[in-house]
Every structure is written in structure tokens, then in C-alpha cells.
A and B are shown apart, each in its own frame.
Chain A
Amino acid sequence: MLETIWFLLWGVLWAVYFVLDGFDLGAGTLMPFLAKDEFDKRSVYNAGGPFWDGNEVWLLSAGGVTFAAFPLAYATMFSGLYSALMLLLFALIVRGVSFEFRGKVESQTWRSVWDGCHSVCSFLPALLLGVAFANLFHGLPLDEQHVNQWGLIDLLNPYGLLGGVFFVCMFALHGALWLAIRTTGGLRDRAAAAAGKLWLAVLVLVLAFLAYTWGHTQLFGNYLKNPHLFLILIAAVAGLLASRYFLAGRSYWKAWAGSAAFIACVALFGVVGLYPAILISTLNPAWSLTVSNASSTPLTLKIMLGVALVFVPLVIIYQAWAIKTFSHPIEHEGDLEY
């Protein structure tokens, strides 16, 4: 029971992380295409600037919960996907620093270098997370000691790459909608237009990804056995459609909310499909890591649950406060803090 609760919380943490960091990773990825001048570029930095580290806290929580609630899965995941994770880590470090360092020197060279870092290192995490999760949905060749036999190159198989491209576009759409909320003038119009195009790409990609998932993984098993779980997919579709509808009506906050619901439900769809496995072994199902064989002791899970019930609401409260404080549109020089 406790393990199942923690499994779901684990899924929720990933879902919330994607919804939050998705928009600043997406905005950063789009910067070279949407920002035409210095003010535009600074607007993009300022759109994500106040939020990026608070958003990444959810990544740390997801990783931390993997460690504390499912330590064996943590060991296999973080050591087994070592190279990919190191790359992800470096990209996130450089991106974070780019927010803080870029504006501090007046030199054009300094700023261009950090701009390059910012966009590449916003694109990479989206790609790597998509590749990683696609591979998790399909399963990895884990041996009897749960050691992953695949390297970085093996992760870039067709299904993995599709997951990667899907995540990139999904986050880019989310980021474009965020830019439409927070920026003004030409940049806002370009962001909204990009969102329209990206929406089509996301529609095609999600259908392709679902089809490939149907054929290539066991994820639909849980859904066929418990058809009421299809509500998650329906909610995802509803979110995506709502997002397009509100985009057309220029209600950007609502469009963003639709995109958020879409991202969250896609993540949850995958996690619920995985249950009870966390890391599937493609070599032998007996070697998979599940909520039963990979979890911590009941005492640990109980204490963690108590702590989570207190602190997660606090985090949500202060994060909502931060979003509210910095949600005003960026109109002129005076609005720029970064």
C-alpha cells in the first residue's frame, strides 16, 4: 500500500517537474528563433529567470524520492543511465548559470556565448529526458544484478529518439505559450504564432508516440485491464485540444493551463502504465525492479509520507506565490531584472 502511494507520488513529482521546467526549457530552446533583438533576448531570460531554480527543485525531489523510496531503482537508474544523466546534469548546470551570468557584463561576445549555451542547454535536457523516459517505458536490458547493459548510444534507438523529439516539441509548445503570457509586442506575436505551429507538431508526435508505445511496450496492459484508467489519456487529449482552442482566442494563461494538463497527463499515463514496475528488464521479467522489490522499509516510507504531506504543500504555496509575483508582462527596460 505504502509503496503504491509512493509510486504514484513519484509519478506526480515527475509530472509536475515536466509542467514547470518544461516552460523555461521550452522558452530557452525557442530563443534563437523568436528573439530578434537584445530586448527580446532579455525578455526570454526574464520570462524564465525568476522560476528556473524553483522549477528544478521538483527534479531534485523526483530524484530524491527515487533514492529514498526506491533505492534499488535509484541505483540502477542513476548508474545505469550514467552517461545520459551526466550530460543532462551538465546541460542543466550551464543553463542555470547562463541565466545568472549573461547579463552581468556589457560585452557582446560574453552575451552571445551565454545565449548559445542557454539555447543548447535548454534543448538538451528536453531531448535527454524524452529519450530516458521512452527507454524506461520500453524497458532496459537489466541483468540479474539489475545492472543495465546498454550505453548512451543504445538509448538513442528509434523509440527513444521519438520520445526525445516529442518532449522537445512538447516543452517548446509549453514555453511558447509561456512567452505569449509574459512578453509583449512582436515577441509575443511570434511566440503565439510558433505555438500554433508547434501544436500541430505535438499532435502528430503524440499520436505517433502512442502508436509506437502500443506496439513496442507493455504500457497499455494496465489500461486494458482497468479501462477507467483511460481517463488519464482522455484528460491529456482534452488538455491539448483546450490549449489550441484558447490559443486561437488569445487567452494565453488558459492555453498554457491546457498544455500543462496535457504534459502532466502524458507523464502520468506513462507512470501508471509502468506500475508495478519502475525499471523493466527486457532480458527477464524476474530481473525487473518493482514497487515490491525495490522499495525502502515501511518505516522509511511512513516517515517520508509524513514529511511530504507537510512540506509539499508549503513548496506549492511559495511557488504559486512566486509565479503570481512575477507574472506581469515584460513591457519595457524597467521590467527587466536579468
Chain B
Amino acid sequence: MHVVSASFCVASFFIAGISAWHLLRKNHEEFFQKSFNLAVGVGLLASLVVVGQGHLHGNLVAKVQPAKLAAMESHWETMKNAPMYLLQIPDAKNEKNLVQALPVPSLLSFLAFNDPDAEVKGLKDFKPEDRPPVGITFIAFRVMVGIGTLMPLLMLFGFLKRREIATYPLYLKAMLLAMPLPYLGMQAGWAVAEVGRQPWIVHGLMRTADAASPLAVSQVGTSLLAMTLLYTLLGAAGAYLMVDTAKKGPKA
């Protein structure tokens, strides 16, 4: 549900952005007003669901993959009433945070367990070989949450003001620039899920290192390079086509 609603966010922001572009240029205004209305309606719902579902996911992760949660929050010391720091810079090598400022008391415990007095396990509770890479997991998580916060706000404004949205050119420009947001949010979220699960490929049962096939580094390296090149080219061709088609607008 979290991923499905995120997909609808991608679609909504995509349609809203293209509609905004055409509304700014006053092309086919009636058509793009309709598509804009649809996009912000669906987008508002989808972005709220994605946040709600995300919260439920966080509850699940706190329970079954506590090391991942600890890495997501760069939370080192096991404690009750764990605060959430609005300004935080991890220092994984020294098993602490270089900067942890602007604490919101008990927020981490509350968000993870719906109970401000709950105990949140810290990374130090896990053997170093069982801890996920903190840097990537932490940054990706905050990027995802930041985007997840921004999306409903953007959609809410668009939804409430949709009938006169053409009179808000700054907002329309913002929606045009906001098109990549859900894509980035998705990627960040998947990074949290996959990197945060390391070193396990099946949590608690099999390590990624044990699951890897006996392939030559050259084989894997070549295929990775080829895949990256191929998808970059296809992505560029696709992006070109999308811009070309979006500019053309609806067929006469």
C-alpha cells in the first residue's frame, strides 16, 4: 500500500506538473484545468496515504528489524523516551552522532511504537557485523520523510485553490519543479529498505555475502557497467520523448 500510494504520487505530480506548465502558457486551458484538478485530488489522497502507511511501516520495522530502525535514525544508545533530533549528523565510526541538536522529547519512541515511554534499541546493542551502513540509511530516510512531508502540503494548496490556480503562477512553477520529487522519494525509500536490511538478504536468516553466486568480479562489473549505460541511454531517450510529447499537448 505504501508503494502503491507512492506510485500514485508519482503519477499525480507528473500530471500536475505538465498541467501547470500548460496553464502557465495558457495552452488548452480547459483541458489542463481538468487534468490539474484530477491530479491534485488524487495526489492529496495518495500523499496522505503514503505518509500514513509509512508510519505503519515504521512501527513494523521497529518491531521486526530494530537494527534498521536504529540505522534510519542513527540512534546509538538504547533508551526509553527516545527523542528525535531535528538536526543530526551521524558519526558511525565513533558510534555516535557528531551533531545532535533540536531534540523533540520522546518523539522517536512515540513514532516507532506509538508510546512515548517505549524503549528504542540503539545500534550499540547490535554486533558491528550486524549493523546496516548508517550514513546511507540515515540520509535516505530523512530525504524520503522530507519529501513525504512536502508532497501533501503542495497537494493541499493545489487542491484548495484549484479553481483559481491559474492566478498562482509561482505555485504552478513550483509544481513543475516538483515533478521529480516522488521519484526521488521512491528511490530514497528503497535505499532505506534495502541498505537498511544489510547485512541480511533474508533478515536474521541469511547474509547477503552468503547468498552471492560464485561469479567473477569482471563478469559482474561488466554487466553492472553495461546495465548502467543501457538504462542511462534509455532513460535519456525516454525523457526526451516525454518532454517532446508533453510540449505538444493534446491532439487537435
Residues of A bordering B, CB below 8 Å: 75, 79, 82-83, 86, 90, 93-94, 97, 101, 104-105, 145, 147
Contact B241 A105 (CB under 8 A): yes
A-contacting residues, B219-252, CB 8 Å: 219, 222-223, 226-227, 230, 234, 237-238, 241, 244-245
Given contacts A97-B234, A104-B245, contact A82 B223 (CB under 8 A): yes
Does B87 make an interface contact (CB < 8 A)? no
* Interface Cβ pair total, 8 Å cutoff: 33
Contact A83 B223 (CB under 8 A): yes
CA distance A46 to B228 in the complex (A): 30
Residues of B bordering A, CB below 8 Å: 213-215, 219, 222-223, 226-227, 230, 234, 237-238, 241, 244-245
Contact B230 A94 (CB under 8 A): yes
Residue of B nearest to A79 (CB): B213
CB of A319, distance to nearest CB on chain B (Å): 26
Quick one: which of B214, B219, B226, B244 contacts A90, CB cutoff 8 A? B226
Contact A82 B219 (CB under 8 A): yes
Q: Is the interface of B mostly helix, strand, loop or mixed?
A: helix
Contact A79 B230 (CB under 8 A): no
Q: List 23 A-B contacts (CB under 8 A).
A: A79-B213, A79-B214, A79-B215, A82-B219, A83-B219, A86-B223, A86-B226, A86-B227, A90-B226, A90-B227, A90-B230, A93-B230, A93-B234, A94-B234, A97-B234, A97-B237, A101-B237, A101-B238, A101-B241, A104-B241, A104-B244, A105-B241, A105-B244
CB of A277, distance to nearest CB on chain B (Å): 21
For A104, what are the chain B residues with a Cβ–Cβ distance below 8 Å? 241, 244-245
CA distance A104 to B246 in the complex (A): 13
CB of A120, distance to nearest CB on chain B (Å): 14
CA distance A97 to B234 in the complex (A): 8
CB of B166, distance to nearest CB on chain A (Å): 30
CA distance A93 to B232 in the complex (A): 13
For A94, what are the chain B residues with a Cβ–Cβ distance below 8 Å? 230, 234
For A97, what are the chain B residues with a Cβ–Cβ distance below 8 Å? 234, 237
CB of B244, distance to nearest CB on chain A (Å): 7
CA distance A97 to B236 in the complex (A): 13
Residue of B nearest to A76 (CB): B213
Given contacts A97-B234, A101-B241, contact A147 B214 (CB under 8 A): yes
Residue of A nearest to B226 (CB): A90
CA distance A220 to B91 in the complex (A): 65
CB-CB nearest 5 A-B residue pairs: A79-B213, A86-B223, A147-B214, A104-B241, A82-B219
